[in-house]
Chain A
Amino acid sequence: MSGTVRQEGSYAIVCLGGEIDLHSSPEARKLILGCLQEGKPTLVDLSGVAYIDSSGVASLVEGFQLARQRQLDFGLVGVSPAALNVLKLARLDKVFPIYASVQEGVASAK
C-alpha cells in the first residue's frame, strides 16, 4: 500500500493506493485519524486502490465515525472500481459521502 497526505486549502487529502489489507490497514488508519485529530476536514482519495478488504474498510469507517463526532467533513474521492464494488456490496456507498474528485469534494462539502 502507498499512503500520502497533502493539504488542499483547509482540507487534508489522504491518498491511498495499492492493496489495503490486514497488514497495511493500520498505516491507512494512522494517516486518516492523524488528519482528523489535527482538526482538519479530510478527504480520502481511493483512485489508486487495487484491493481493499474489510479491515481497510474499517479504517474508513473509523475515520467517518471520528469525523462525525468532531463535526468535521469526511468523504471519499475518486473511488476506484475495485473499492467501489466492495463499498456497494456492503451498502456503504450510501454511508460515505463519495465525490468524483478532490475539487468536487471540497466544493460540495462546503
Chain B
Amino acid sequence: MTERGTLANLKPTDLPAPPQEAIGIVRACARSDITSKRLAEIVTHSAVLTAELLRIVNSAFFGFRAKATSAAHAVTLLGQRALRNLALCVAMRDALRPDAIPGLDMSMYWEQALRRAVAARCLSRVTRLNSEDCFTAGLLQDFGLLVMLYIDQDRASEWRRLAEADPDERYALEQSLFQTTHDHVGAALAAAWELPPELRQVMAGHHSLRDTDTAETLELCTLAQCADWMAAVFSAADKRPVIRRCQQLLHAHFGLTPEQGNDLLEEVAQGLSAAGAAMGMSVGAQITLADVLREANLQLVEDNLSYQELTWRLEQALAERDRIAAELNRELELAREVQRSLMPRDSDGDSNARAGIHGVNTSARELSGDFYDYFPTRNGQIHFCIADVAGKGMNAALLMAKVSSLFRCLAKNVADPAALLAMLNREIVETSVRGMFVTMIGGRYDPQTGQVWLANAGHLPALYLPDMGPVQEIPADAPPLGVLAEAQFVTQELNLNAGVLYFYTDGLIEARLPSGEELGIAGLKELLRKHAGVPASLRARRLLEAVRDAEIHDDLTLLMIDSHARF
C-alpha cells in the first residue's frame, strides 16, 4: 500500500486534482445562458487548450466541413456539446502527467482507451446517440483503472496482465488486486470532479447495466460495454472467445450479424491511428482484423486437433472394449457348452425317459449355478441329483462343474445317498472359497419297485404328488454342502406307488406371477396339480413355460421322477 491512501476507503483528497482550465470549459458549456462568444473567450485564455481544440476540429478523424482558424471559429463549428466533450477528453488525458505512475507507460493505457473510444464512435452509427458523446464515453469509461494504478502504484507491474485480459477477466483481476474495481473508483472521481451526469453514469454502470436517468443513458452504457469488448478483440491474449462474446453482444443489443460486427471491427482497426493523431495520443503499430482472425483460427485449429485426438482415443478405447467383450462372450459360450454337456439331454425314448425321469434347465445368464443329473447303475437303478450353487456367474459355474463331476464319479461306488453327500461335503469344505456352498438332493431310484432313497442337503423340499392324497414335502435335514465338515446327512426312503416326485431350484419358486407375486412353494404345488395330466415327457418343459411368461431373474431347473412310466 502506498502513502496515497487506500482504494477500499477512497477519499476525494486521494484522487488526482482536476485540470482546472478544461473543467472550467465543461462547466461553462453546462450553463444554458452561455454564449458562443463567451465560450470562445474562455477557450482563448489557455493557449494550450486553443491549440488542442484547433487540432481536433481540423483533424481528418473528426472531419468537420470547414477548417477552423481561431478559437471562436472552432467553438462555432463544434457547438456547445461537442466543445464540452472534446474539452473533457483533453482534461482527462492531461489529468495525470505521463510520468505520474512510475513503471507504467501512460500512452499504453491511452491507446487502449482510444480504441474503446473509436469503437464506441463506430458503433454509434447504428444508434440514435451522438457520435461525439459515444467517443467521449468510450475514451473515459475505464479512467477509474488509471486512478487505481495512480493510488496503488505498487500494482503498476500488473499492467500487462490487466491489458491482455478481456473485460470480464480484467474486472475480476482488479477485484483480486485492488479489492475494488474501476467502475467504483471511476464513479467516485466523476462525482468529485462534477463530470456531466451521463458520463458519470457510464463510468459507474458500463459493467453492470443498471437503472439510469434516461433510456438514452442506458443505451450509452450498453454501447460502452460493447465498445469495451470490441477493443478487447485486438488486445486480449486469447482472442477467440472474445470475438465470440463480442458477436453475441452486438447481436443481442444492436441486432448486428457477425459480418456487420466484423465490418465495425475492421473500421476500428483502420480508424485508430487517425484518432490518435486527432487526440494527440501516440498509437503503436496495430494489428489488423485479418491478423486477429488468423490468430483466432489458429487457436481454433489447435483446439480442433486436440479434440480430434480425444475422439480418436475414445474410438480406440471403445474398439478395445468391444474386442474384449466379444472375446469374453466367446469364452462364455464355450463354457456354457461345456456346462450343458454336464447335464443329460432329455431325449424322449431313451432308457431314462422310459424309466420316467425328465429334467430341464434354462439359464437366465450365460452360465448357470444350477445343475441336475441322472444315470443308470449296473443293477438297473438310477442315480439322480439336483443342485444349486450359491451365487452366479463364472465362480458358481466352476464349482458346479466340480460338484457334478464328483457326484458322477462317487455314485459309481457309493450307493447310499447320505454317505455320498457326506463325501462330497468334505471335498467341498476342504477347498471352500468365499463361503460358496451347494444345496443338493442326491438319490437313487429303482424303477422296478418305485423305491427312492435320497438325502437333502439344504435344498428346497422335494415334492411328491401321489395320484391320491395330499402333496408330501421332503425337506432338507442337513445343511448345504461346503458349510460344515462334520455335517450329518440322512438317507430318507419313500415309495412312489403311483405319483410323481419333483425337484426344483429357487429360480422356479421365485418366478414372478403376472400379479407380481412370487410363485412360492404353495403356488408350485398348485401348478404341478394343474399340469398332472400332461404327458410326462412334455410336462417338465410345459411347467417351465408356464412361469416363463413372467420375467426370469434366475436359473430355472426342474427334475421329475414319474412312477407311472413303470406300468
Contact = CB atoms under 8 A, between A and B. Distances in A.
A55 interface: yes
Given A64-B483, A95-B484, A58 B436 contact: yes
Contact of A60 (B435, B436, B484, B487): B435
Contacts of B506: 54
Interface stretch (A4-12, A84-92, A101-109): A84-92
Among B389, B434, B439, B478, chain A packs the most CB atoms within 10 A around the CB of B434
B477 interface: yes
A61 B391 contact: no
A22 B392 contact: yes
Interface in B429-474: 432, 434-437, 439, 458-461
Given A54-B391, A58-B391, A61-B483, A90 B476 contact: yes
Nearest to B484: A95
Interface in A30-44: none
A47 interface: no
Contacts of A59: 435
Given A90-B479, A91-B478, A54 B388 contact: yes
B390 interface: yes
Contact of A95 (B369, B436, B439, B479): B479
Contacts of B436: 58, 61
B19 interface: no
Contact of A92 (B388, B434, B480): B480
B484 A90 contact: no
B432 A65 contact: yes
B356 interface: no
Given A54-B388, A61-B483, A90 B435 contact: no
A89 B458 CA distance: 7
A64 B439 CA distance: 17
A61 B476 contact: no
A25 B434 CA distance: 11
A56 to B, nearest CB: 9
Contact of A89 (B391, B432, B476): B476
Nearest to A95: B479
Interface residues of A, number: 20
A55 B392 contact: yes
Interface string A44-85: 000000000011011111111100000000000000000000
A58 B475 contact: no
B438 to A, nearest CB: 10
Contacts of B432: 65
Interface size class of B (residues with CB under 8 A): 20 to 34
A94 interface: yes
A31 to B, nearest CB: 14
B390 A55 contact: yes
B96 to A, nearest CB: 69
Contacts of A58: 390-391, 434-437
B439 to A, nearest CB: 6
A30 to B, nearest CB: 12
B435 A63 contact: yes
A90 B480 CA distance: 6
B483 A92 contact: yes
B389 to A, nearest CB: 8
A22 B393 CA distance: 10
Contact of A29 (B390, B434, B475, B487): B434
Given A22-B391, A22-B392, A54-B506, A61 B437 contact: yes
B391 A55 contact: yes
A64 B475 CA distance: 23
Contacts of A29: 434-435
A53 B372 CA distance: 20
Given A60-B435, A89-B460, A95 B391 contact: no
A58 B433 CA distance: 10
Contacts of B459: 90
B458 A61 contact: no
A19 to B, nearest CB: 13
A91 B458 contact: yes
A68 to B, nearest CB: 9
A64 B434 CA distance: 11
A57 B479 contact: no
A47 to B, nearest CB: 21
B417 to A, nearest CB: 16
A3 to B, nearest CB: 16
Nearest to B482: A61
Given A55-B390, A55-B392, A91 B435 contact: no
A94 B483 CA distance: 11
Interface in B362-420: 369, 388-392
Given A54-B506, A62-B434, A63-B435, A92 B458 contact: yes
Contacts of B388: 54
B483 A95 contact: yes
Among B388, B432, B479, chain A packs the most CB atoms within 10 A around the CB of B479
A2 B477 CA distance: 32
Contacts of B390: 54-55, 57-58, 61
A54 B390 CA distance: 5
Contacts of B434: 29, 58, 62
A43 B511 CA distance: 32
A62 B480 CA distance: 13
Given A54-B390, A91-B458, 18 more contacts: A54-B391, A55-B392, A57-B390, A57-B437, A58-B435, A60-B435, A61-B437, A61-B482, A61-B483, A62-B435, A65-B432, A89-B458, A89-B461, A89-B475, A90-B479, A91-B476, A95-B483, A95-B487
Interface of A: 22, 25, 29, 54-55, 57-65, 89-92, 94-95
15 contacts: A54-B391, A54-B506, A55-B390, A55-B391, A57-B437, A61-B437, A61-B482, A63-B435, A65-B432, A89-B461, A89-B476, A90-B479, A91-B478, A91-B479, A95-B483
The list of the 6 closest CB pairs from A to B, nearest first, reads A62-B435, A90-B458, A61-B435, A54-B390, A58-B435, A55-B391
